[in-house]
Structure 1
Amino acid sequence: MGADEVVDVARRTLGPVGVCLPVSFTSTPPVEHQRAAVRQLERAGHRAAWTNEVIGKDAFAHLSVLLAATERMAFGTCVANIWARPPQTAHGAAAYFAQAFPDRFTLGLGVGYPQQAESVGRGFGRPLATMRDYVGGMDGETWPPAPDTAYPRILAANGPKMLGLAAEIADGALPARLPPEHTARARQLLGPDKLLVVGQSVVVDDDRDRARATARQVVAGWSGNAGFRDGLAELGYPAGDSDEVVDALVAHGGPDTIAAKVRAHLAAGADHVTLLLPIGTEFGPGIDQLTQVAPALADLT
């Protein structure tokens, strides 16, 4: 399967919108709860779900359980951390998924943070060079050979340099937590033939004032990241957590408000938008929130 076909298949199977499973740092839901959750999301009409990877959590082990628990749902990593496994191991596991669950797996890769490199005794280095080397290493020889099955590889990329690298060496990119104007720029940098998955932060709450207050807390948590601040400045947004910035970055309110922001990203060039609940959202309530928004997205899926 050629690169163009890989992207076309991913566009069809992922559909225009998906959800990222809630991320809580205080507990790990029992496996049966997670199986039940993705079945609930699938019944609600969500076609794709994504999972993250942090120190101590293996995204591939997680998805092996969830893929087997569902019938049609597509899954992806947002993102698999390159420090968690050697590149040949990542490729072998991804190819195995692609063979076992045809057209249902997308590999999102991210360079992560210095502390994640330090946790495995590695130096963080230069992100662009590190990512280039890693993706190149994925095609290194393994023994026995990895399954000869194709799957999409996309890179976590907000800045123009990483987006450019994604256009060069990957099947697409996964920018996150930025407004539709950034999606339009990302599409321009990637070109029309690459897969563009966008992570959209959401706060699901019918109480508009409370939703905005929560969204403001979410934005405030990002303000210490220099790259995030620089990216906003390039798009013409002021520093801080003004209403303008909060409204641009976080879809907050009822399901129709969430759906409107998804449509804005799709209109700007995204192939797929995945909904990101605030970090720390407890698993059960988060799954219920994602289920709640499904009807408002039904005409997209």
Structure 2
Amino acid sequence: MASLPGLGPIGIWSNKLQTDDPDDLGRLRDAAAELEELGYAALWIGGSPSLAHAAHLLAATNHITVGTSILSIWQHQAADVTRQRAALAPADRERLLLGLGVSHARFAAQYNRPYSAMRDYLTALDTAPEPVPADRRVLAAIGPKMLRLAGDRAAGAIPYLVTPEFTAQARTALGDQPFLGPEMKAVLDTDEARARTTARDYLTNYLTLPNYTNNLQRVGYTEDDITGGGSNRLVDALVACGDAEQVRTRIEEFQKAGADHVAVQIVLPPGQSYPELLRQYRELAQALPL
């Protein structure tokens, strides 16, 4: 499986790229069009999006890749996904990357044998009347078995809540050819203490989920690092804090570790607005080779 051709090195990850409120669709579409114009390579819809969420962004843009990050296999039947994808215009199908994941036991009552469930889901995508080609799907893989599956039966992996060190290990596990596009968090704030507080507040819930904490322990972090919202060592590893140049430097660390693409998630303090998120992506774009 070759890495994804034509996908640029830096995209955006945000759970604010989806809405079910018709009154918000205009604002969302305007934001998507602006982010495309700024030169970002992909819009990764965070949370648990559907193909309907992806369709809104595809309709608002012309050439940018739109990815789900991730569509939960427990919430969306493979047959429904293939039908919804087939209903898109051919050019939009080519711009869509189906990011799939098993989510977490806390969020899916039917969670059971996630590796086997993902393998069966991929088989259902392969054998549907309108199959989803392997090179148009990627897996939210962080464990060794899921990484192998991502390389064997998808275009590659889109790991979440990871470090450059994990990225190097994932590249070794995948081999040279499969796509590797980790998500990376950033806080654009040069006040170190305040930036860490913003980062830690955002990380706290993630650091209670075993899928993530087990992976962090596999790459060398301890229980002491993980508890209490994360040690400074862990917070600094998971979130790039500082100005746009410091964020760019961290992106380069991921790239040197083997990432083909980095999906940057800007993290805001509680209460800051959607326009502020766009303002910071504009600021970041000035420092990046987009």
TM-score, length basis structure 2:
0.87
1:222 paired to 2:217: no
**Displacement of 1:24:** 9.2
Identity of aligned pairs, percent?
34
1:244 paired to 2:233: yes
Superposed, 1:12-51 pairs within 5 Å as: 12=6, 14-23=7-16, 30-51=24-45
**Displacement of 1:159:** 1.5
Name the CA shift for 1:25/1:33 in 2 (closer, same or farther; >3 Å).
Answer: closer
Q: Distance in 2 between matches of 1:26 and 1:78?
A: 14
2:150 alignment partner, one of 152, 161, 166 = 166
1:91 alignment partner, one of 62, 66, 82 = 82
> Does structure 1 conserve the Cα–Cα contact (< 8 Å) formed by 2:17 and 2:28?
no
**Displacement of 1:225:** 2.1
Structure 2: gaps (5+ residues): none
Q: CA RMSD in A?
A: 2.6
**Displacement of 1:100:** 3.0
SS in 2 for 1:138: helix
Q: Distance in 1 between matches of 2:219 and 2:263?
A: 21
Superposed, 1:172-211 pairs within 5 Å as: 172-211=156-195
1:295 paired to 2:282: no
Q: Distance in 2 between matches of 1:107 and 1:270?
A: 18
**Displacement of 1:114:** 3.2
Map of 2:63 onto structure 1: 72
Tell me which amino acid in the other structure corresponds to 2:254. Answer: H
Name the CA shift for 1:82/1:167 in 2 (closer, same or farther; >3 Å).
Answer: same
Map of 1:254 onto structure 2: 243
Name the CA shift for 1:114/1:102 in 2 (closer, same or farther; >3 Å).
Answer: closer
Structure 1: gaps (5+ residues): none
> Does structure 2 conserve the Cα–Cα contact (< 8 Å) formed by 1:154 and 1:172?
yes
1:131 alignment partner, one of 113, 118, 121 = 118
TM-score, length basis structure 1:
0.84
Name the CA shift for 1:171/1:260 in 2 (closer, same or farther; >3 Å).
Answer: same
SS in 1 for 2:40: coil
Name the CA shift for 1:225/1:289 in 2 (closer, same or farther; >3 Å).
Answer: same
SS in 1 for 2:127: coil
Q: Distance in 2 between matches of 1:92 and 1:244?
A: 45
